[in-house]
Amino acid sequence: MRRHQLDIQLKTPDQIELMRAAGLVVAAALAAVRDAVAPGVSTGQLDAVAESVIRDAGAAPSFLGYHGYPASICSSVNEQVVHAIPSREQVLVEGDLISIDCGAVLNGWHGDAAITVAVGDVRPELLRMATVAEDAMWAGIAAAARGAANGRGRLTDISYAVETAVRKGGRFGIVDGYGGHGIGTEMHQDPHVLNHGRPGRGPRLVPGMALAIEPMITIGSPKTVELADGWTVVTKDGSVAAHVEHSIALLDDGVWVLTSVDGGRGRLGDLVTARQPVDSPSA
């Protein structure tokens, strides 16, 4: 069988430091957006919050203008899964579940991350879904770290770990047709990272790889449709979805979660590279 030849950009430790700087800008933007989420706030306002944090840091919003995308974040509310365009007309109400995806480019290097946030009081099963999505993302990151450390990891070990964590968490749909990706001097690079599948396939996990790990799950069906705006992806059955994402780098002594302020240490402990300053800035 002939396979598509993957073009995986391996980063030097110095380049990974540059990606860390971009990742921290994304982390700061998302933290500000998280704080701004409340009933009565529009997704357009959230977009303005993210853009100003990114620009104040001397970075640029990487989504803005990407294939013509008109904003700095994607703000996907309830049955919107990903790539929903923020607007001043879309006002959050108590009980909404919103996923905010944000990217920044700093000195030519990209960061990309997403969070899922409850608007006020949210149905427990939706909160549970958001927790499962997070747990699955961290399971995928841990699998990447272990695979790079022991030298036997393959890309789909991440996919398998994400899927296993979602299945363990309950009956959720794993969104079809979307997944994570390589990241570096472009927001989207090879390889594509599926959120499901058998382990032990695909390219080897090696130091220098940088990946965005991004589970997307739903309370119902994994099927989605794209709206006529050419961007917004919604669930086919109208069920609510959650999306979380981190950009990570693999080093020879562990993983660095570039878009997490603590580098991932809180969730991953010793799987995190010792190279990360322990007193990393708390933004």
Binding site for ligand MF3 (CB under 6 A): 63, 66, 69, 74, 83, 101, 103, 112, 181, 212
- Least distance (Å) from ligand MF3 to the CB of residue 139? 19
Q: Which one, 83 or 267, has the nearer CB to ligand MF3?
A: 83
CB 231 within 8 A of CB 178: no
Full DSSP string of 220-263: S-S-EEE-TTSS-EEETT---EEE-BEEEEEETTEEEETTSTTT
Q: Which one, 63 or 172, has the nearer CB to Co ion?
A: 63
Q: Which one, 96 or 112, has the nearer CB to Co ion?
A: 112
Is 133 a binding residue for Co ion by CB under 5 A? The answer is no
- Least distance (Å) from Co ion to the CB of residue 44? 22
Q: How many CA atoms lie within 13 A of 143 on its CB side?
A: 26
Q: Which two tokens stand for residue 207?
A: 């130091």
**Strand order of the sheet with strand 233-235?**
80-82, 233-235, 224-226
Full DSSP string of 138-158: HHHHHHHHHHHHHS--BHHHH
The item of ligand MF3, Co ion, none sharing an interface with residue 246, based on CB under 5 to 8 Å by kind, is none
- Least distance (Å) from ligand MF3 to the CB of residue 253? 27
Q: Which stretch binds Co ion (CB under 5 A): 2-10, 111-119, 201-209, 268-276?
A: 111-119
- H-helix segments, 57-185: 124-150, 155-169
Q: What amino acid occupies position 140?
A: G
**Which residues, other chains included, contact 149 with Cβ-Cβ below 8 Å and sequence gap of 6+?**
253, 254, 271
Residue nearest to ligand MF3 (CB): 63
Is 112 a binding residue for Co ion by CB under 5 A? The answer is yes
The item of Co ion, ligand MF3, none sharing an interface with residue 74, based on CB under 5 to 8 Å by kind, is ligand MF3
Q: Which one, 39 or 230, has the nearer CB to ligand MF3?
A: 230
Interface residue with Co ion, options 81, 175, 212, 257 (CB under 5 A): 212
The item of ligand MF3, Co ion, none sharing an interface with residue 237, based on CB under 5 to 8 Å by kind, is none
Q: Which two tokens stand for residue 228?
A: 């006529």
Q: Return residues touching Co ion (CB under 5 A).
A: 112, 212
